[in-house]
């Protein structure tokens, strides 16, 4: 028989992981008056201690709307660069570009670029001030028991256990929560790494995000505030490792050699970081007493800048599903309550992951197929209708099944 420690059962929902998805969900749930706790493995995020991971995120207007309704975008205002246009080019093929007119959303840019550390700092600030929300740092979750009425969490070195109706795993790709409840995470590795770094451009970027499909993979230059830009250079792992071993000067020379006039004059502004690229979608986003959100549920190639945006859609959907379940008196951790979340989010995630995967494969294919991809791209560039559909996809414009938070609205029943 298992011997239990005293149980702290003060929280309806416990979120494991204080990344951008976990904190956004915590803020959303606290606004809905749920009594919630976030557990994080590390301490509080402190940008002044140099917690910089090199990444900058393109946030779609719909996800931005949700953050606006939480009061997060006003904290991000000094750090954000709106994207007015996206230009994609397949080496020597005709260019394809999307601009504000194509997206058709009045007054909204195609997306918003912000560095990851500014996002985390703003989310931490908001979460610490949120009512009904407890944040516990340095919590190493080492066991989860799920029962028909609650989940019990065992924390390393703690003198008590925690109980909740619902546990949400927002603990990233290596999710302990997902593994503990036995949900599989199939997919494949791209055998490639994304090298990210910040550069200072000589010429004004005018808010244009640019992507070129090189043989090793896509290469993106994403506009940041103060005429900076974030580079995402995808290369086969062995090549990426060699590039990472170069000093700044030689790296800069390689960059110029690969991209020709694409970047213009620039200087390196930050350290470089390399991320192995994977495609994974969890077999299920829910199990009894447990839901998964963000990278714990899916990982996609960064070429379309959608990973975090998918996680924020999970947040908007899960918050709405839980709130509606509670409103009609359902147990929020029961399979019946969580089923709509799985239905709503999994299909969208699979289609996005597969779409990005096909694009990546086409541009890395042998010459004749790559030619087809390039031909497709130049034909796409000539069709207003197709461009409009694609730019709506990029900017995250949604259909009728849009969760209310993504429309910038409060959740109504
Ligand atoms: C090169 C690159 C560029 C990208 N660019 C974009 C982009 O432009 N736009 C976009 O939308 N997405 C982008 N992404 C994807 C984006 O980085 C991820 O989708 C996003 O970080 C996922 O957030 P998350 O909160 O789910 O997970 P994470 O950011 O991984 O956070 C997980 C958190 O859980 C914590 N944790 C882990 N284990 C435990 C545990 N056992 N207990 C408690 N806490 C735990 C971790 O410490 C961390 O704080 C990019 C990714 C890469 C690699």
pLDDT at 391: 52
Judge if the beta carbon of residue 217 lies within 6 A of ligand 1: no
The answer to whether position 255 is within a domain reads: no
The answer to whether position 236 is within a domain reads: no
Q: Which of 25, 39, 42, 55 to mutate to test the pocket of ligand 1 (most atoms within 8 A of CB)?
A: 55
Judge if the beta carbon of residue 337 lies within 6 A of ligand 1: no
Closest listed residue to residue 397, CA positions, set 19, 25, 109, 69: 109
Over residues 81-127, the pLDDT tens digits come to 999 988 887 655 555 565 555 554 567 899 999 999 999 999 999 99
The answer to whether position 270 is within a domain reads: no
Where do runs of H (alpha helix) occur along 113-236?
116-129, 176-180
The answer to whether position 2 is within a domain reads: no
Least confident among 9-18, 317-326, 394-403: 394-403
Residue owning the nearest CA to atom 20 of ligand 1: 308
The answer to whether position 359 is within a domain reads: yes
Residue 20 alpha carbon, nearest atom of ligand 1: 25
Give percent of the chain with pLDDT exceeding 70.
Answer: 84
- Average pLDDT score over residue span 328-351: 94
Residue 275 alpha carbon, nearest atom of ligand 1: 53
Residue owning the nearest CA to atom 14 of ligand 1: 307
pLDDT band at 1 (very low <50, low <70, confident <90, very high): very low
- Average pLDDT score over residue span 253-282: 89
In which residue are the tokens 């995470």 written?
185
CA distance 230 to 224: 7
Residues of the domain holding 50: 7-187+278-397
How many angstroms separate the alpha carbon of residue 74 from the centre of ligand 1?
22
Over residues 301-326, the pLDDT tens digits come to 888 788 999 999 999 999 999 999 99
Judge if the beta carbon of residue 58 lies within 6 A of ligand 1: yes
Q: Which of 66, 115, 172 to mutate to test the pocket of ligand 1 (most atoms within 8 A of CB)?
A: 172
What average pLDDT does the structure give for the chain?
86
Residue 299 alpha carbon, nearest atom of ligand 1: 19
Highest mean pLDDT among 233-247, 350-364, 371-385 belongs to 233-247
pLDDT band at 279 (very low <50, low <70, confident <90, very high): very high
Cβ contacts of residue 371 below 8 Å, gap of 6+?
Answer: none
pLDDT band at 192 (very low <50, low <70, confident <90, very high): very high
Q: Which of 16, 19, 23, 185 to mutate to test the pocket of ligand 1 (most atoms within 8 A of CB)?
A: 19
Q: What is the CATH number of the domain that holds 37?
A: 3.50.50.60
Q: How many CA atoms lie within 13 A of 167 on its CB side?
A: 32
| pTM recorded for the entire structure | 0.91
Number of domains observed in the structure of the chain: 1
Judge if the beta carbon of residue 178 lies within 6 A of ligand 1: no
pLDDT band at 397 (very low <50, low <70, confident <90, very high): low
pLDDT at 256 over 90: no
Judge if the beta carbon of residue 41 lies within 6 A of ligand 1: yes
pLDDT at 206 over 50: yes
The answer to whether position 229 is within a domain reads: no
Stronger pLDDT, 260 or 294, i.e. the higher one? 294
pLDDT at 45 over 50: yes
The answer to whether position 155 is within a domain reads: yes
pLDDT at 257 over 90: no
Token pair for 283: 């077999």
CA distance 374 to 356: 16
């Amino acid at each position: 028989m298992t011997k239990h420690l005293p149980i702290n059962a003060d929280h309806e929902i416990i979120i494991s992981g204080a990344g951008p998805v976990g904190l956004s969900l915590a803020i959303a749930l606290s606004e809905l008056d749920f009594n919630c706790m976030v557990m994080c493995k590390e301490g509080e995020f402190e940008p002044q201690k140099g917690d910089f991971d090199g990444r900058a995120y393109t946030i779609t207007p719909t996800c931005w709307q949700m953050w606006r309704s939480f009061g997060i975008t006003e904290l991000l205002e000094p750090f954000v660069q709106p994207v007015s246009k996206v230009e994609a080019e397949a080496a020597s093929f005709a260019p394809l570009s999307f601009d504000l007119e194509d997206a058709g959303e009045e007054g909204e840019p195609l997306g918003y670029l912000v560095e990851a550390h500014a996002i985390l700092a703003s989310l931490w600030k908001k979460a610490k001030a949120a009512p009904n929300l407890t944040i516990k740092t340095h919590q190493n979750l080492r066991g989860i028991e799920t029962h028909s009425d609650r989940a019990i969490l065992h924390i390393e070195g703690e003198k008590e256990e925690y109980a909740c109706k619902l546990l949400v795993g927002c603990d990233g790709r290596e999710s302990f929560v997902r593994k503990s409840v036995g949900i599989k995470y199939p997919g494949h590795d791209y055998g490639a790494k994304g090298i990210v770094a910040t550069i200072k451009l000589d010429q004004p970027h005018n808010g244009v995000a640019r992507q070129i499909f090189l043989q090793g993979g896509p290469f993106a230059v994403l506009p940041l505030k103060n005429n900076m830009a974030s580079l995402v250079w995808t290369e086969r792992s062995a090549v990426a490792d060699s590039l990472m071993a170069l000093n700044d000067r030689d790296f800069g020379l390689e960059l110029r050699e690969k991209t020709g006039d694409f970047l213009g004059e620039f200087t390196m502004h930050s350290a470089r970081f390399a991320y192995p690229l994977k495609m994974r979608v969890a077999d299920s986003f829910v199990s009894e007493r447990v839901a998964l959100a963000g990278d714990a549920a899916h990982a996609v190639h960064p070429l379309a800048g959608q990973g975090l945006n998918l996680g924020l859609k999970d947040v908007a959907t899960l918050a709405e599903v839980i709130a509606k379940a509670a409103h009609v008196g359902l147990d929020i951790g029961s399979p019946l309550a969580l089923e709509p979340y799985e239905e709503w989010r999994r299909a969208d995630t699979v289609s996005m992951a597969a779409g990005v995967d096909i694009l990546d494969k086409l541009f890395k294919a042998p010459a004749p197929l790559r030619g087809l991809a390039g031909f497709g791209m130049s034909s796409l560039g000539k069709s207003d209708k197709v461009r409009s559909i694609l730019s709506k996809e990029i900017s995250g414009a949604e259909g009728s099944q849009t969760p209310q938070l993504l429309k910038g609205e409060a959740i109504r029943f």
